[in-house]
Amino acid sequence: MERRTFLKTAGALGLSAALGPKAFAQGAPEKTKVTLGVGGKPLLYYLPLTIAERKGFFKEQGLEVEINDFGGGAKSLQALIGGSVDVVTGAYEHTIRMQAKGQDVVAVTELGRFPAIVIAVKKDKAGQIKSAADFKGLKIGVTAPGSSTALTAQYAMVKAGLKPSDAAIIGVGSGASAVAAMQKGEIDVISHLDPVIAKLEADGDIQILIDTRTEAGTRQLFGGSNPAATLYTKKDFIEKNPQTTQRLVNAFVKTLKWLQTAKPEDIAATVPEEYYLGDKPLYLKAVQNSLESYSRDGIIQMAGMQSVLDMLRQLDPELKDAKVDLAATFNDRFVRQAAI
C-alpha cells in the first residue's frame, strides 16, 4: 500500500473510531463552522453548552462552533431571526412564540427538563413579601426582559391573581451584575438561576419563595413538567444542513449522558474558573442543586410542551387564541438518531 493511501485510510479509520459507527454513517456535515447564540453562558441553565465545548464534543463531531454570548435569551433569539447566528441554546418557549408569529423555529434537543429558575425576595423585605401575590409595584430583576426568567416571574404573579404588568421587570444580566443589583437594593425580587442564586443565598441576601430546580418545585408552580433550555434553530437551517444539525445534537446527547454520572467536582474542573463567581465551594453547591434539572434523554414530552403553551397563553394576549401546532415546535428525529 502506498504511504499516502495508507495515511488516508488510517485517518478515515481514526475518524470513524472517534465519532462512532453511527456518526460516521451519518455523512459529512454541510457546514463545519457554526455560530451559536446563548443568553448568559456561565449560568447553570446552559451548563450542557459549556460542557460540550470544553470536553471537545463539538470537535469530535467535526464541528467548529463559535459561541456568541448575549445578555439574555430574548437577545439570542433576535440574533437567530436576524441571521447573525445559526443555532441557539435557549428556552423552549421561544419556539412557540415564533410559530405563533409565522416563524418556523424548531427545537432539536432538550437540555433542561426543569426551568431551574428561582424566585427570591430581598432578605430584609421577606416579612412584607411572602408570595408572588405581594409583588405588585415591586422591581423584579431578571436576566433580560422577555427571557424565561421574566416569564416565570410574571406567570407566578398571574397565578397569584395579579397582572403580568403589576411589577417592573428589570434586566440585571447573568453574572456579577445580577448579584450586585440585589445587594445594592436596586431590585426587590430576583428571578434568576445558579450560580447567581447560590451566591445570594450563601451571602444571606435573599429568601427563596419559588424554586424550579427540582421536579417538586416545578410541579408546584406549573402543575407538571416544564421544559427549559433547548437547542433550537430555523426550519430552513435544518433542511439545508441536516448532517450539521445531527452532529450538533450528537454532541449535546453525549453531554447529557456525561452529566448523568458527573460529580460536581468533575463539572467544576471542566468549566472556566470565572464561573465560580469567586467562590468554588459555593459553585459546587450550586451545581449539586441544579443536577436534577438537566434532561435525561433530550426528548421534550408533549405534556411539557402543553404546560409551556398554557403559561404563555396566560401572559401574552397575542397567544391567547393563536393556533399553535406543538408537534411542529420540536423535531425529535436527531435525538433518536444521535450517535454517542
**65 and 133 co-located in one domain:** no
**197 and 261 co-located in one domain:** no
**89 and 238 co-located in one domain:** yes
Compute how many other C-beta atoms are within 10 angstroms of the C-beta atom of residue 214.
15
Q: Which residues in the chain belong to E strands, given as ranges? A: 33-38, 64-69, 87-91, 105-110, 118-122, 139-142, 168-171, 189-192, 206-211, 229-234
| Total domain count, the chain | 2
Q: Which of the listed residues 146, 181, 211 is the one where a domain comes to its end?
A: 211
Angle at 271 between CA 84 and CA 276, to 5 degrees: 105
Whether 222 is in a domain gets the answer no
H/E segment holding residue 177: helix 176-183
Cell numbers placing 12: 478515515
Mean pLDDT on 179-206: 96
**56 and 197 co-located in one domain:** no
Of 191 and 3, which is predicted with more confidence?
A: 191
How much is the pLDDT for 73? 85
Tell me if the bond preceding 195 is cis, omega within 30° of 0: yes
Q: Which of the listed residues 177, 211, 245 is the one where a domain comes to its end?
A: 211
Q: What is the pLDDT of residues 291-320, one digit of tens each?
A: 999 999 999 999 999 999 999 999 988 888
How much is the pLDDT for 175? 85
Whether 294 is in a domain gets the answer yes
**139 and 168 co-located in one domain:** yes
Mean pLDDT on 13-20: 40
Whether 268 is in a domain gets the answer yes
Are residues 74 and 146 in contact, defined by beta-carbon separation less than 8 angstroms? yes
Whether 217 is in a domain gets the answer no
37 is in which domain, residue-wise? 3-114+227-336
Cell numbers placing 31: 457546514
Q: What is the pLDDT of residues 206-250, one digit of tens each?
A: 999 999 999 999 999 998 889 999 999 999 999 999 999 999 999
* 264 band by pLDDT with thresholds 50, 70 and 90: very high
**103 and 231 co-located in one domain:** yes
**85 and 181 co-located in one domain:** no
Mean pLDDT on 109-137: 96
Q: What is the pLDDT of residues 26-68, one digit of tens each?
A: 689 999 999 999 999 999 999 999 999 999 999 999 999 999 9
Q: The domain spanning residue 281 has which CATH number?
A: 3.40.190.10
Mean pLDDT on 94-113: 95
Whether 218 is in a domain gets the answer no
How much is the pLDDT for 340? 53
**86 and 124 co-located in one domain:** no
Whether 288 is in a domain gets the answer yes
User: In the chain, what percentage of residues exceed pLDDT 70?
Assistant: 92
3-class DSSP state of 28: coil
316-319 contacts, C-beta under 8 A, 24 or more apart: 316/97, 318/100, 319/96, 319/97, 319/100
Residue type, position 18, single letter: A
How much is the pLDDT for 27? 82
**15 and 98 co-located in one domain:** yes
Cell numbers placing 131: 408570595
Are residues 30 and 244 in contact, defined by beta-carbon separation less than 8 angstroms? yes
End-to-end CA distance of the chain: give it in Å, rounded: 32
